[in-house]
Amino acid sequence: MSLRRRSAPARFRTPPRFLTPLAFLAPFALGTLVFVFYPIIDVIRLSFLEDHVFLTGQFSRVGLGNYAATFADPHFATAVRNTTIYAAVVIPTTLVLGLAAAWLLNRSFVGRRFFQTVYFLPLVTSATAIGLAWRWIFNFDYGVLNYALSLVGLPGVNWLNDPAWGLAALMIYGVWSMLPLTTVLLLVGMQNIDPRYGLAARVDGAGALARFRAITLPLLAPSIGLVLIVNLITSARVFDELFPLFNGKPGVAGSLYTMVYFIYDSFFKANDLGKASAAAIVFSLAVLVLALLQLRLQRRWRH
């Protein structure tokens, strides 16, 4: 009599091995399709629907009228200018200050862990609450910043009510808000550098500045590249800093329109969904092109 086991019926056979990871990935993939890809496709569709009515879904025709209206809007030009100036100042300033702070925190001194924790606190604090605190710092009569200026003999500045100083106040707040994450990322990169490189250079007589320029900066290139990409995206979509500082308004007499605020204003205040969608598409493409260009330049720098 044969003792060979019979093959299991087809309905009891083990499913193919690749189905198991697919089952685990299915909820995430479904959420990505519903909450990421579908909104992107819908925004692209809406950007071509002219005179679109949000409640009824009616529109006059399909064309490029929303894009033409976006580029013709004077607030759009203001938003592009302000966002460009903001990013051009805040990104390099944050990088330089972050490098200095990370270099100091990477050194051994009493209370280093405490200062590392303090630097991380703004990341877990409400942006609105911080913005309201900065409103008091920028206050013309009672602000800490004007008081500090008076200590060195400088006149006070009407940061939040003078169009000439509104963007400067926004950039100061922006540097402060982006500095913690920048410092943490650069500090992690510095701590991953093998200390034997610095020890060998010290034995050869290299000073601290020479070691930083010849060893730390080249080996820190991946971390610097990550910081630049993150800060580019963060500075391009500046909105959380602007909203609490100026009571939900784009500065004095609309002088502080940014790209994200322009999209917000077009949709929630002007009820122009097509124009807001067109501006969002233009904004996303511009950030994507800049990010890809930056990645290309970083690869050349690293090699």
Q: Please report the pLDDT score of residue 92 as a whole number.
A: 94
Is there a contact between 161 and 140 (Cβ–Cβ < 8 Å)?
A: yes
58-81 pLDDT tens trace = 888 888 989 999 999 999 999 999
Q: What is the pLDDT of residue 205?
A: 76
Cβ atoms of residues 167 and 256 within 8 Å: yes
Q: What is the pLDDT of residues 113-145, one digit of tens each?
A: 777 677 777 777 777 788 888 888 998 888 889
**Mean pLDDT along residues 237-251:** 85
Report how far residue 182's alpha carbon sits from residue 98's, in angstroms, rounded to the nearest whole number.
Answer: 6
Angle at 108 between CA 106 and CA 114, to 5 degrees: 80
Question: The whole model's pTM is what?
Answer: 0.85
End-to-end CA distance of the chain: 72
What is the residue type of 107? R
What does the mean pLDDT of the chain come to? 84
Q: What are phi and psi of 252, to 5 degrees?
A: -80, 125
pLDDT (tens digit, 9 = 90+) per residue, 271-303?
888 899 999 999 999 999 988 888 888 777 655
Q: Residue 58 has what pLDDT?
A: 80
**How far is 44 from 8, CA to CA, in rounded Å?**
52
Question: What pLDDT score was predicted for residue 83?
Answer: 94
CA neighbor of 186 nearest in space, from 150, 216, 149, 148? 216
Backbone angles phi, psi at 150, to 5 degrees: -65, -25
Q: What are 225's two structure tokens? A: 């590249």
Looking at 63-103, which runs of residues are DSSP E strands? none
Residue 50, SS3?
strand
Residue 225's pLDDT is 87
Give the pLDDT confidence score for residue 52 in this predicted structure. 79
Report the C-alpha gap between 190 and 106 in whole angstroms.
7
Task: Give per-residue pLDDT as tens, 18-66.
Answer: 777 888 888 888 988 888 889 899 999 989 988 878 777 788 888 898 9
Class of domain 75-302: mainly alpha
Structure tokens at 193: 């550098």
Give dist(CA 139, CA 158) in Å, integer.
7
Is the pLDDT confidence value at 1 over 50? no
**CB of 99 closer than 8 Å to CB of 186:** yes
Q: Which two tokens stand for residue 34?
A: 């519903």
Collect all residues with Cβ–Cβ distance below 8 Å to 122 and sequence separation of at least 6: 130, 176, 177, 180
**pLDDT value, residue 67:** 93
**Per-residue pLDDT tens for 91-118?**
999 999 999 888 888 877 776 777 767 7
Helix H or strand E segment including 130: helix 127-137
Count the neighbouring beta carbons within 10 Å of the beta carbon of residue 200: 13
Identify the band that residue 5 occupies on the pLDDT scale cut at 50, 70 and 90: low
Mean pLDDT along residues 245-273: 88
Domain positions in the chain: 75-302
Nearest 5 degrees, angle CA 114-CA 120-CA 123?
155
The token pair that represents 102 in the structure block: 């990370």
Cα separation of 164 and 187, whole Å?
A: 36
Helix (H) or strand (E) segment spanning residue 61: strand 61-62
